[in-house]
Amino acid sequence: MAISKIKSGKFAGLYRVRIQPKDKLTGKVISVKSQVTKTKNYQDAQKLELDMWADFHGQQLVAETKLDKPLADEFQHYIDECQELGKWADSTAYDWQYTAKLVKHYFGRQKIRDIRETDINKFAHNYVRDHKTKVAKHSTVDRQLQNLRCYFGKMERYGLKINPVPKGALSEFFRRSDMTRPDEKYIFSDDEIYQIRHQIYHDLNNKPFNTWGSRLGILIALDTGMRPQEVQALRWNEFYDEEGFRVFEIHDSWNERTHELNMTLKDRMQGDTRRTLPLSEETIRFLHEYHHKQSEYLERKKIRNQNNFILLTLSDLARCTAGYPVAQRSMNDMLKSITKQLKIDSHGLGITMYTCRHTVASKLGNNPQMSYPWAASRLGHTLEMFMRTYVHPDKDKNKSMLELVVSSQTH
């Protein structure tokens, strides 16, 4: 019954009111939480039942109205709302704004409820064709499909029955022959790391100190595997002595797009800190020397290092005065220049500061004595992400692994 009298318990004598609306398409009962009257008057129970039906129909009307609006308008409204509420980092908001731009272009005034899986499929293929982009995991088209799936998932609360973007949309929409492997990452060999380090040592001993920034950033990245944004945000007061080793205890990263600190590490809450892998003695020595030279230079120029940055730009007076650290592009260009000078062949694969991160992670992941959870924590990742994304076969292990296989075959 819709209205029943409660016979026992603390609500004895009152009425419990239930309504059981049915879905127009499926015929299934829609779950609505029951309510209890405040009085023992049956007429109050009847009034409560009418109010519950009115609330339900009002909510249904709002939901149906939402789904009848153009996808482009509502998608943009959702993004603007998330940004106003500060839900996203700038990089995430930038990515979603790009998706919104594509939605306006490819879907026009099409309503949310009218979007079908075939429409999303056509969008994906048209985007790949128009932008001549590749189809691969973590590619641009993959990110757009993920954003759309997330958005349509949120529309289910407004009565959307089926998400038009299936899980694993890339494999659903594209043939395997259409897809390319994700970008292979180049990993420096031990010998190449040695060459890069010693070339930088030579440069630091022979070049003006105001050109040291990018080179020191590379040394730090080769030691710690830190993200370039984290390297940029390093401060002089973040050195930490741990078990006789020098590490950094970091809590921030630099946003190259906004020229501001993010006030947090990637995927961490504000105030969270992380200790890094240890620094080599040579890196520490050059950093101490650089600190002394940097302090003298800033005092002479009457410039205040307001964020106490280690890698404050000294080669560009305007950036230095503004308090900007060495640009990520400068570090990337310096690393490419050094590898070119050393004739390091990357076999057509790109070399950036992230090459240092992947290299450090792969060396750790290929060390059987390493605690992988510890290594993942020091790099600021979950164990799963560390093993799946950052650990690659180490070519320095090729000979020993081949010998191991042959040895096992002969016994």
Domain ranges across the chain: 3-67, 71-178, 190-398
What's the whole-number average pLDDT of the chain? 90
Q: What is the pLDDT of residue 270?
A: 75
Percentage of the chain modeled with pLDDT above 90: 61
Q: Is the pTM of this model over 0.75?
A: no
Nearest to 196 by CA among 405, 372, 351: 351
**pLDDT at 347 > cutoff 70:** yes
Q: Which residues pair with 274 in a beta bridge?
A: 250
What is the 8-class DSSP label of residue 70?
B
| 1-16: pLDDT as tens digits | 588 989 898 889 999 9
**Phi then psi for 226, rounded to 5 degrees?**
-65, 150
CB neighbours of residue 219 within 10 Å? 24
What is the 8-class DSSP label of residue 386?
I
| 278-314: pLDDT as tens digits | 999 999 999 999 999 999 999 999 999 999 999 999 9
Q: Report, as an integer, the average pLDDT of 165-179.
A: 92
Q: Report, as an integer, the average pLDDT of 113-117.
A: 94
Q: Is 357 within 8 Å of 221 (Cβ atoms)?
A: yes
> Mapping DSSP to helix (H, G, I), strand (E, B) and coil, where does residue 325 land?
strand
**pLDDT at 62 > cutoff 70:** no
Phi-psi category of residue 265: left, alpha or beta, with phi > 0 → left and psi -120 to 50 → alpha: beta
Band (61; pLDDT cuts 50, 70, 90): low
Percentage of the chain modeled with pLDDT above 70: 92
Q: What is the pLDDT of residue 405?
A: 63
State the helix-helix crossing angle for 328-341 and 190-206, rounded to 10 degrees. Answer: 110
**38-42, 105-109, 261-265 — which one is most confidently predicted on average?**
105-109
CB neighbours of residue 359 within 10 Å? 24
Question: Can you give the length of the chain in residues?
Answer: 411
| 275-287: pLDDT as tens digits | 999 999 999 999 9
Burial class of residue 319 (count of CB atoms within 10 Å of its CB; 0-12, 13-18, 19+): middle
CA distance 147 to 133: 18
Token pair 């405040």: residue: 38
CA distance 43 to 45: 5
CA distance 361 to 277: 11
| Contact partners, residue 242, CB within 8 Å, separation at least 6 | 275, 278
Instruction: Tell me if the domain spanning 190-398 has CATH number 3.30.465.10.
Output: no
| 364-410: pLDDT as tens digits | 988 888 898 999 999 998 888 888 777 766 677 777 766 666 666 55
Per DSSP bridges, beta strands 245-250 and 274-275 are: antiparallel
Instruction: Tell me if the domain spanning 71-178 has CATH number 3.30.230.
Output: no
